[in-house]
Amino acid sequence: MIDPILNRLLKQPLCALAKQMIKRGVTADAVTFVGFIVGMLAVPAIIFEQYILALILILLNRLGDGLDGAIARETSPTDAGGFLDITLDFIFYSAIVFAFVCVAPAQNAIAGSFLMLSFMGTGGSFLAFAIMASKHGIDSPNYPQKSLHYMGGLAEGFETILVLCLFCLLPTHFVLIASVFAVICWITAIIRIWVGYNTLLATKTP
Helix H segments across 75-170? 79-103, 105-136, 157-169
Q: How far apart are CA 127 and CA 81, in angstroms?
A: 15
* 90-146 per-position pLDDT tens digit: 999 999 999 999 999 999 999 999 999 999 999 999 888 888 887 877 766 555 555
Least confident stretch, 24-38, 68-82, 170-184: 68-82
pLDDT band at residue 148 using 50, 70 and 90 as cut-offs: low
Highest mean pLDDT among 2-6, 50-54, 188-192: 50-54
C-alpha distances (whole Å) from 180 to each of 53, 99, 171 are: 25, 18, 15
Radius of gyration of the chain (CA): 17
Q: How far apart are CA 153 and CA 50, in angstroms?
A: 32
Cβ-proximal residues to 15 (8 Å cutoff; 6+ apart), any chain: 70, 73, 74
Cβ-proximal residues to 92 (8 Å cutoff; 6+ apart), any chain: 36, 39, 40, 61
CB-hemisphere CA count at 13 Å for 47? 9
3-201: what fold?
Four Helix Bundle (Hemerythrin (Met), subunit A) (1.20.120)
Please tell me the predicted confidence (pLDDT) of residue 15: 82
Prediction pTM value: 0.86
Please tell me the predicted confidence (pLDDT) of residue 139: 66
